[in-house]
Chains A and B, each alone.
Chain A
Amino acid sequence: MSGIYWEEKYETMPREELRELQTIRLQSTLINVYENVGFYKKKFDDAGVNPYKFDDLDDIKKIPFTTKEDLRDNYPFGLFARQMSDIVRIHSSSGTTGNPIVVSYTKNDIALWGNLIARDLYSVGVRKNDIIQNSYGYGLFTGGLGLHYGAELLGATVIPVSGGLTERQIKIMKDYGSTVLCCTPSYALYIAEVGSELGLDFAKMPLKTGIFGAEPWTEEMRKEIEARLFIDAIDIYGLTEIIGPGVSCECSEKKGLHVAEDHFMVEIINPADNARLPSGSRGEIVFTSLTKEAMPLIRYRTRDLSMINEAQCDCGRTHSRMKKPAGRTDDMLIIRGVNLFPSQVEEVLMKVKEIEPHYLIVVDRVNHLDTIELWVEVSEDVFAEKINDLEKFESAIENKLHAATGVSIDVKLKEPKTIKRSEGKAKRVIDKRKGDVI
């Protein structure tokens, strides 16, 4: 620990050296899973991969992917590379259907995880004197315990509040003088809302940093949270399958999430044809564990969409940065051969004034050709005023969408309050090709 780095040697390692480190660590991981996990032995043998002769990082291309279905099929312990007596912890993500995803940790894995979180917290200025209110849920979910062990390793004071009971959260924040808040970004906004209702002035509170993750969020949301809570809002990323939170995290620059590349190798692929994409392209993130013992995963497909920037960050860290994940491959539409994500459409729409945040993408196939319409509500005032100009307004939006996505989308402006509202997660896409009905 020195200056602004928790582990300067690894965080600022020149990329060439980092690549060597990754190669050595990857080889020992490949040998670990080949010798201890039947699933991988078969996979490697079928693909003709010899882990004992692995010496070029690029050869990872030859290894098949691991998917969520593989985890489900090998439920509960089929992918463990260690005996139960060496495993000290199990976490699990609850699937709504089928078997849950189960992951395991040795003592070393738990220590590694804590160290990653401590590194992330340290990199955004959290120190021993800080009081960390951890409002992620504790239990099988990795969020609560993951952040907790790292914060404790750092030596800060952790308040393991867990989620919910918002009034109590606010009382604790005020009375204990919490300086750091860990939770989902949407819960942070809810805390801000309830706090304001209770007459709390966040400008006067000691809270200075938020570590937010476990769900995708936008730059707009960050601005909103920062303005309302008077804090720096930091994005942390992770998934249970890889280790939990701490796979990547923003530094104080807030220009992308540094991937802990000494422990995880990251690739970007085209989800449509599985080809590896060069750095800077948008695609699906794929991670490979380099140091985990109990359950390393090789080329695990996250289904999260992002891009990777290998340029050195102003903070001095050499680890490449992931852009905030913008949606999931599960949401990807293929329109006349072009990949389109609803989040791309939303991004364009959010920049157009006079438009309400209610829209619906309607996809169909007419005469063997894909068609795509975008229904979007105009604000009350505008609808009455612009009624004559609607067509012009529509084509202006169409041009913007085409420029951003490369797809011609037929925009249909709608009267206010005509698009169905949802009580839970909004449904933004109707794909009639798959039998959806409006």
Chain B
Amino acid sequence: MSSQTAKKDFWDPEISTASRDRIISIQIKNLKDTVKYCYNNNAIYRKKIEDAGVNPDKIDDIADIGKLPFTTKDDLRDSYPFGLFCTPLSQVVRVHASSGTTGNPTVVGYTKEDIDIWANCIARVMYDVGVRKDDIVQISHTFGLFTGGWGFQIGTEKLGALVIPISGGNTERQLKIMADFKSTVLVNTPSYTLYIAEVAEKFGIDFSKLHLKLGFLGAEPWTEPMRVEIEKRLHMKALNSYGLSEIIGPGVSCECLEQDGLHINEDHFLAEIIDPDTGKSLPYGSKGELVFTTLTKRAFPAIRYRTKDISYIYTDKCPCGKTLIKMAKPMGRTDDMLIIKGVNVFPSQIEEVLLKIKDLEPHYLIVLTKENYMDQIGVWVEVSEDNFHEKLMDLEFFEKSIEDKLFSAIGLHIKVSLKEPKTIARSEGKAKRVWDRRQEGN
């Protein structure tokens, strides 16, 4: 791996260095196809497009996208599980889903060709920053319904580098393998990466003697100070990778070695920025909600999918030589979704579990903290008057049983602290359900 050669050597040079006109002409053609395809193959899309008064044969200009209706997470939930698929299941080879049994998860599907597009998107972002066949890629994202580990698994395979699909957890083993197998690339969440550094220091492991050079970190928001810390402690370059399962998973966009904005794989994903309140398109450079339209996917195309991530799109050229436009790393959400250890969780999911448990009052507070750079989530909840005294002896057991229920519903360990009745502050207006104390520590 060499950053010198990477500057001029691209995986898909004809795309990555294409002129603006060329990219736009590819996008118009594929947008037209996608709209027609959705219209012809899915009743829900057909109705939405008709209701918006759009003639799918008359998409001639990239600006026409503004006439198309948005797709939201609620549309996915309402059509659960396969309502927005555009191919029969016999052509779908893979299904991914967001976590959680509370409410309906969002389910997405892939044809063989979709999987190949995905692999290519990842191979491209990896190759363009210098990953080559002889690199050893340790993937510490969890595998399963979550797309994080998968995207890099198939992308690394496509590129021909060596994959170690170690999955998450078991930090000592992560370190042993990193040292013994001489891993050169780490794919992970930023918070778990810092935790690995922490544990390594405890064992006296010196990262300057290991072989790590590059980290593709994502699946949760992270800050510049965190990047500085990661790069200093792990002796590697840390790149921000972005994606969401509704669009394809990781591989929607990724930083180059300039580390200033994430290049969007524009031949497959058309990005817009809108005003989240009015839905109006905003010009490049303005801050707003990111909206993506897939241009090539078959099993689960998305038209104007509202990510609820806040970002903006760069207008200037990147010194790395890639002409694909860049987005700023997301700087917040338009909704109350929390991303903890890579798992998306809404306060309402926690509430739904708590409200099903007898002996609990409907007063709770979700508390976010930071411990060893890892986001921690806990919930304070009041016990009913009668039960508090009676159960005092059993509180720990009761807490544990609620934690188990939360885990099995959400897939995340949420520490439960039972509180005496009337101790959690009441609100007069909209209840404040989340207390974010992450800035206090570290």
A139 CB-CB contact with B under 8 Å: yes
Contacts of B408 in A (CB 8 A): 165-168
B373 CB-CB contact with A under 8 Å: no
B301 to chain A, nearest CB (A): 17
Contacts of B166 in A (CB 8 A): 139-140
Contacts of B107 in A (CB 8 A): 176
A119 to B97 alpha-carbon distance, docked (Å): 28
Q: Is the CB of A158 within 8 A of B94?
A: yes
B324 to chain A, nearest CB (A): 27
Closest to B139 in A: A139
A7 to B165 alpha-carbon distance, docked (Å): 29
Closest to A77 in B: B181
B172 to chain A, nearest CB (A): 11
A111 to chain B, nearest CB (A): 11
A138 CB-CB contact with B under 8 Å: yes
A155 CB-CB contact with B under 8 Å: yes
Contacts of B95 in A (CB 8 A): 157-160, 176
Q: Is the CB of A128 within 8 A of B133?
A: no
Contacts of A152 in B (CB 8 A): 93-94, 112, 115
Chain A residues near B (Cβ < 8 Å): 75-77, 84-85, 87-92, 94, 100, 102, 104, 107, 110, 128-129, 131, 138-140, 144-145, 152, 155-162, 165-168, 171-172, 175-176
Contacts of B142 in A (CB 8 A): 162
Interface string of B167-182 (1 = CB under 8 A from A): 1000001000100110
Q: Indicate whether A90 sits within 8 Å of B90 (C-beta atoms), given known contacts A161-B144, A168-B408, A175-B80.
A: no
Q: Is the CB of B144 within 8 A of A84?
A: no
A160 to B95 alpha-carbon distance, docked (Å): 7
A253 to chain B, nearest CB (A): 27
Q: Is the CB of A175 within 8 A of B180?
A: no
A87 to B411 alpha-carbon distance, docked (Å): 34
Q: Is the CB of A157 within 8 A of B94?
A: yes
A144 to B146 alpha-carbon distance, docked (Å): 14
Contacts of B239 in A (CB 8 A): none
Q: Indicate whether A90 sits within 8 Å of B144 (C-beta atoms), given known contacts A131-B89, A155-B112, A167-B409.
A: no
Cβ contact of A89, chosen from B143, B163, B407, cutoff 8 A: B163
A162 to B145 alpha-carbon distance, docked (Å): 7
Contacts of B81 in A (CB 8 A): 175-176
Closest to A138 in B: B143
Q: Is the CB of A162 within 8 A of B143?
A: yes
User: 8 shortest A-B CB distances, which residue pairs?
Assistant: A139-B167, A138-B143, A162-B144, A85-B134, A157-B92, A85-B133, A128-B90, A129-B90
Q: Is the CB of A87 within 8 A of B162?
A: yes
24 A-B residue pairs with Cβ-Cβ distance under 8 Å, sorted by A, are A76-B180, A76-B181, A84-B162, A88-B157, A90-B181, A91-B165, A92-B177, A94-B173, A102-B181, A110-B157, A128-B90, A138-B167, A139-B143, A139-B166, A152-B93, A155-B93, A156-B93, A157-B92, A157-B94, A160-B94, A162-B145, A172-B97, A175-B80, A176-B81
Contacts of B164 in A (CB 8 A): 90, 140
B161 CB-CB contact with A under 8 Å: yes
A213 to B134 alpha-carbon distance, docked (Å): 34
Q: Indicate whether A138 sits within 8 Å of B90 (C-beta atoms), given known contacts A88-B157, A160-B150, A175-B81.
A: no
Chain B residues near A (Cβ < 8 Å): 80-82, 89-90, 92-97, 101, 104, 107, 109, 112, 115, 133-134, 136, 142-145, 149-150, 156-157, 160-167, 173, 177, 180-181, 407-409, 411
* A-B contact sample (4 more), CB < 8 A, given A90-B163, A166-B408, A167-B101: A84-B134, A88-B160, A107-B160, A139-B167
Q: Is the CB of B93 within 8 A of A88?
A: no
Closest to A156 in B: B93
Q: Is the CB of B145 within 8 A of A161?
A: yes
A85 to B411 alpha-carbon distance, docked (Å): 37
Closest to B96 in A: A160
Contacts of A138 in B (CB 8 A): 143-144, 149, 165, 167
A131 to B92 alpha-carbon distance, docked (Å): 9
A88 to B159 alpha-carbon distance, docked (Å): 9
Closest to B157 in A: A88
A84 to B95 alpha-carbon distance, docked (Å): 32
A91 to B143 alpha-carbon distance, docked (Å): 14
Q: Is the CB of A157 within 8 A of B411?
A: no
Contacts of B145 in A (CB 8 A): 159-162
Closest to A87 in B: B162
Q: Which of B156, B162, B177 has the most CB of A within 10 A?
A: B162
Closest to B89 in A: A157
Q: Is the CB of A139 within 8 A of B165?
A: yes
A80 to chain B, nearest CB (A): 11
B404 to chain A, nearest CB (A): 11
Contacts of B144 in A (CB 8 A): 138, 160-162
Q: Is the CB of A140 within 8 A of B167?
A: yes
Q: Is the CB of B411 within 8 A of A165?
A: yes
Contacts of B112 in A (CB 8 A): 152, 155
Q: Is the CB of B89 within 8 A of A168?
A: no
Q: Is the CB of A140 within 8 A of B93?
A: no
A84 to B160 alpha-carbon distance, docked (Å): 10
A418 to B434 alpha-carbon distance, docked (Å): 53
Contacts of A168 in B (CB 8 A): 101, 408, 411
Contacts of A162 in B (CB 8 A): 142-145
A145 to B180 alpha-carbon distance, docked (Å): 22
Contacts of B134 in A (CB 8 A): 84-85
Contacts of B165 in A (CB 8 A): 89, 91, 138-140, 145
A119 to B104 alpha-carbon distance, docked (Å): 34
Closest to B133 in A: A85
A162 to B92 alpha-carbon distance, docked (Å): 19
A367 to B55 alpha-carbon distance, docked (Å): 96
Contacts of A88 in B (CB 8 A): 156-157, 160-163
Contacts of A156 in B (CB 8 A): 93
Closest to A139 in B: B167
Contacts of B177 in A (CB 8 A): 92
